Amino acid sequence: MEPLYIVKVGGNIIDDAEKLRSFLKAFSSIQGKKILVHGGGKLATKLASSLSIPQQMIDGRRVTDAETLKIVTMVYAGWINKDIVAKLNAMGCISMGISGADAQTILAHKRKNADIDYGFVGDIDQVNTQALLALLEQGINIVVAPITQDASGQLLNTNADTIAQEIAKAMSNHFTTSLIYSFEKRGVMKDVSDEHSVIQQMDAALFKSMKEDQSIFAGMIPKLDNAFAAIDAGVSKVIIGDALELPDLIKGKSGTTIS
Amino acid sequence: MEPLYIVKVGGNIIDDAEKLRSFLKAFSSIQGKKILVHGGGKLATKLASSLSIPQQMIDGRRVTDAETLKIVTMVYAGWINKDIVAKLNAMGCISMGISGADAQTILAHKRKNADIDYGFVGDIDQVNTQALLALLEQGINIVVAPITQDASGQLLNTNADTIAQEIAKAMSNHFTTSLIYSFEKRGVMKDVSDEHSVIQQMDAALFKSMKEDQSIFAGMIPKLDNAFAAIDAGVSKVIIGDALELPDLIKGKSGTTIS
């Protein structure tokens, strides 16, 4: 099957105009079909603060009331998505910006949680690949903002890592899919304080033994559990590494490749 | 050729949640391929005011400085576009929301004007129908926000009426295209103060004679000049009328049909 690259980029890159430009240059240099999933960055928090809309974070997740939903939809699906698209187009990397709501590509439901009410936060039920396939077929790349909707038409704020993973799983029926989590770190490190301890290759057996002898940074375990779940669901590779080294990540010359 | 309906809806409808829902119901009931182009409404002005960003209007056009561009992109391409898309999807009218920047569908340039600097306002150079055709082919409807970009990747605020007209012209090579300007008025009226004076059918000869004997409201003349220009460029029909009577507009039972 033809390769497809699904790249998630984190907020720290988006918040820095210079880093974003370098990252987009690297993304646009990937040959073939590709999808970029972006997070939010600090702009939503800044806008909420300018509008005196109090923001509540629980365990690093934004509690999304009606006013905050408007803000994240405006910032993620509006400014950040269109700014990225316009820059990629100008680099010759013709791209369509969408949210999960568009063409009902991602159907979600409002998170049910007995203990904490996260508000308008979505958990994904289903990915519909129809529009994605039609656009990729035309040589058009896709940029996805982390907003989804439920069946009643309610927009929902949704985790960008999860969106990237669910799109990768759904697309793995059609492509040899690589899922790349790119951020400001160099990969999965044995020792979180040592930049040189990046684990280049990891398979299920190595992960299991490293968990057993506790030779892996505990905070990385849920991310890796997700990566292996994606691979179990048909994704060919998951790569974790530095957003500014994207071409090297794909070649396996940088970051951690999980397969 | 297969019919295509391109509907522009004005800000007054968008600002009123009840009217918007009725309008979207009517839009979703149109059989076959369709594109909705929406304007902005008052939300951008409200948001600018909450953020203490002064807004300057010249002849009804918004002067768009860098901060205002961010606001209109967030409001038009973010909140309004995704809110409409989610509502249409929930009505079973599966729709993709785009701006003119997406897939570089509309390429524009920053308006040059010796007298007035409108800021980041775009005049359209070119419509690229590739993504539109691919999506329509899949049975996916399209919702367009009035933001474009130039070749350098600069986003630009662009008049929604003009976007609807330029898309209609470009699509008329592929479809029998009807361009519908829907708003809160019943059509082109002989006497602007008399709701019952709607002109049902108008052709170039009637328009010419009505201009000569001044039996048409002067404010309507530029709009009609544009409508006839669209028809000269291949658009099959231009219909002007009440957004809430959309199915009747298409049947010629309401509004003014120009052909």
User: Do the chains contact at B75 and A74, CB–CB below 8 Å?
Assistant: yes
CB pairs under 8 A between A and B: 138
Nearest CA in chain A to B97: A102
Q: How far is A150 from chain B (nearest CA, A)?
A: 8
Tens-digit pLDDT profile for chain B (259 aa)? 999 999 999 878 999 999 999 999 999 999 999 999 998 879 999 999 999 999 888 877 789 999 999 999 999 999 999 999 999 999 999 999 999 999 999 999 999 877 888 999 999 999 999 999 999 999 999 999 999 999 999 999 999 999 999 999 999 999 999 999 998 889 988 877 788 889 999 999 999 988 888 877 777 788 888 899 999 999 999 999 999 999 999 999 999 999 8
Q: What share of chain A has pLDDT > 90, as a percent? A: 78
User: Do the chains contact at A90 and B138, CB–CB below 8 Å?
Assistant: no
Q: How far is A132 from chain B (nearest CA, A)?
A: 10
- Residue-level length of chain A: 259
In terms of pLDDT, which residue wins out, A71 or B195? A71
Q: What is the pLDDT of residue B197?
A: 87
Task: Indicate whether this model's pTM tops 0.90.
Answer: yes
Axis-axis angle for helices A204-212, A221-232 (nearest 10): 150
In terms of pLDDT, which residue wins out, B127 or A220? B127
Q: Would you call A81 an interface residue with chain B, using a CB distance cutoff of 8 Å? A: yes
Q: B114: exposed, middle or buried (C-beta count within 10 Å: 0-12, 13-18, 19+)? A: exposed
Could you tell me the domains of chain B? 3-183 (3.40.1160.10)
Q: Would you call B138 an interface residue with chain A, using a CB distance cutoff of 8 Å? A: yes
- List all residues 6 or more positions away from A16 whose beta carbon is below 8 Å from its beta carbon: none
Nearest CA in chain A to B85: A102
* DSSP label of B111: P
In terms of pLDDT, which residue wins out, A216 or B238? B238
Nearest CA in chain B to A95: B103
Q: What is the pLDDT of residue A53?
A: 93
d(CA A181, CA B167): 37
Nearest to A245 by CA among A19, A86, A35, A67: A19
Tens digit of each residue's pLDDT (9 = 90 or more) over A128-155: 999 999 999 999 999 999 999 999 999 9
pLDDT at A217 over 80: no
Q: How far is A54 from chain B (nearest CA, A)?
A: 15
Mutating which of A104, A120, A128 best tests the B interface, going by the most B Cβ atoms within 10 A?
A104
How confident is the model over A24-52, as a mean pLDDT?
94
